[in-house]
Copies of this chain bind each other. A is one copy, B any other.
């Protein structure tokens, strides 16, 4: 199947939940709001934080909040945060791993075009659109 990770799906749900947060919202509360298990939310937040999509605040009254306005965070951002660089095949430019057929392959580099088209499509939809 051609699909995003379940965690990416969850991440969008989390991001949408955070849209309505005025102050920092703890993982526990996010879990309650969304129905996503607490440990899973916890794991997600680490990825979203590292990618700079959310801000965190420790201690009592701590929690997470969006790092940018909802209409500036795209689905592409969320996918990249959770799953790493978007590379439909391993012979796409920004892929982490290397294609083993590269030496004698007939479609060498052609996937770049497809990849760009998909990324462009994913950048068009924002968290605000998902609300």
Contact = CB atoms under 8 A, between A and B. Distances in A.
- How many copies of the chain does the oligomer comprise? 2
A106 B4 contact: no
Interface of A: 1-5, 8-9, 12-13, 16-17, 34-36, 75, 79, 83-84, 86-91, 96, 101, 104-107, 110-111, 113-114, 117-118, 120-122, 124-125, 129-131
A110 to B, nearest CB: 4
B107 A114 contact: no
Given A1-B84, A117-B121, A118-B118, A129 B110 contact: yes
Nearest to A86: B2
B1 A106 contact: no
Given A117-B121, A118-B122, A122-B118, A107 B12 contact: yes
Contact of A88 (B4, B104, B117): B4
Contacts of A84: 1
Contacts of A130: 107, 110
A35 B104 contact: yes
